[in-house]
Amino acid sequence: MSDADLLAALLDAAWRGGLIALLAVLAGRLWRARRGSALATTGGWLAAGLVVQLVSSAPSFEVRVSLLWQLPCIAVATANSVLFWAFAQALFDDDARLGPRHLLAWAAVVLLAALNCSWLARPGASTAEQLAHVVLRLMPLGFALAALKATLAHWRGDLVEPRRRLRLLVVAGGVLYTAAQLALRFAGEGGRFSATAAAVDLAGLALLIGLMLRGGADLVAVVLPADPAPAAAPEQVPAALAAAAIPEVDAADQHLADRLQQLMRDEALHLDEGLTIAALAARLAVPEYRLRRAIHGQLGHRHFTAFVNSWRLQAASQALADPACREQSVLHIAMAAGFQSIGPFNRAFKAAMGLTPSEFRRQRLAET
């Protein structure tokens, strides 16, 4: 090996080692912020998967290690797209939970990627097998697009401004990196990176990790608060629905929040299933960003849906505690309060009150 080649190999190894250290920092910060949460769990597994990808995509690894030993690494690296999809869901949805579908999707991609490399990519494969090989190689792009969809869902209703900025930066970067990596793989001989392609891939991965680390304080303190408070609720809501600490008061934002509360109370806007933050901003003659800031900063909500649901929960809890409504079913009360189905109502009520609607009703009626 020439001196130039040795220097290039050392620089490549140092670069990959530095990125592995950054991934460890990211996983550690998320884990310390909220151990066991969906975001910390998916972030940790994604960091581990990217470490495998960093090691297995090194030119020296691809040249010197047999395909048999490369297969598990290739399969895990391919399945990172599933983890990125789950990470995006957890990052931008306060109610996101890991479930069997995430595990099954990851396991399916691992198995299909291993099959693709060991069987469909063999010399002499039929035309159908070659086509299947190409389709399976595009799996990461499909999950990257699914992550983009999850990121853009409910974007306008997100009231946490740093998280709104992170949505496009993190996931758009992930989609672009995935597309670029696939293009480099297709262009390479036998699906391997050339020395130049490996450097470009490493630079793209460094950019993606940098985007994930960008605003680490936002991820920990804003996106994933250590001690989340209950959502703020309108006046006269039961104590279990009331907000805990309200952020620093801004006079203009507080005045806007008061106007908003009055409008919601006078016109029962929570009963409008199509209510949007844009419509409310137009009614109040203020820019959307100011209304988002007031709802988040003065009323303590992280998403517009949570704000509207606080009014619906107020109406439902009052009806459930009213002896005159004793004969009305829980479903009827939920629908009358503005909920469109019983499932979301039950989940929102239990999260806010610590009791199911039926348990809450029995307790309150027993007290009266």
Q: Quick one: pLDDT at residue 295?
A: 94
CA distance 351 to 353: 6
Q: Which helix (H) or strand (E) holds 314?
A: helix 304-320
Q: Quick one: pLDDT at residue 282?
A: 94
Residue 234 domain flag: no
- Residue with the bigger pLDDT between 175 and 310: it is 310
pLDDT at 155 over 70: yes
CATH number reported for the structural domain that contains residue 251 in this entry: 1.10.10.60
pTM: 0.75
Q: What percent of the chain has pLDDT over 70?
A: 89
Domain residues for 211? 3-223
Q: Is residue 143 located within the same domain as residue 33?
A: yes
pLDDT averaged over the chain?
83
Which tens digits make up the pLDDT trace of 21-48?
989 988 888 888 777 788 889 989 999 9
pLDDT at 107 over 60: yes
Q: Quick one: pLDDT at residue 281?
A: 94
CA distance 243 to 352: 10
Q: Quick one: pLDDT at residue 220?
A: 54
pLDDT bin (cut points 50, 70, 90) of residue 163 is confident
Q: Is residue 183 located within the same domain as residue 246?
A: no
Q: Is residue 201 located within the same domain as residue 275?
A: no
Which tens digits make up the pLDDT trace of 310-326?
999 999 999 999 999 99
What's the domain count of the chain? 2
Q: Is residue 202 located within the same domain as residue 146?
A: yes
Tokens 């579908």 belong to residue: 101
pLDDT at 298 over 50: yes
CATH number reported for the structural domain that contains residue 155 in this entry: 1.20.1070.10
Nearest to 302 by CA among 218, 238, 240, 360: 218
Q: Quick one: pLDDT at residue 191?
A: 67
Residues 6+ apart with CB under 8 A from 3: none
Residues in a beta bridge with 303: 158
Nearest to 352 by CA among 223, 242, 224, 225: 242
Residue 229 domain flag: no
Q: Quick one: pLDDT at residue 245?
A: 39
Q: Name the DSSP class of 219.
A: I
- Residue with the bigger pLDDT between 1 and 146: it is 146
What number is the average pLDDT over the span 180-194?
78
Which tens digits make up the pLDDT trace of 117-134?
888 777 777 888 888 888
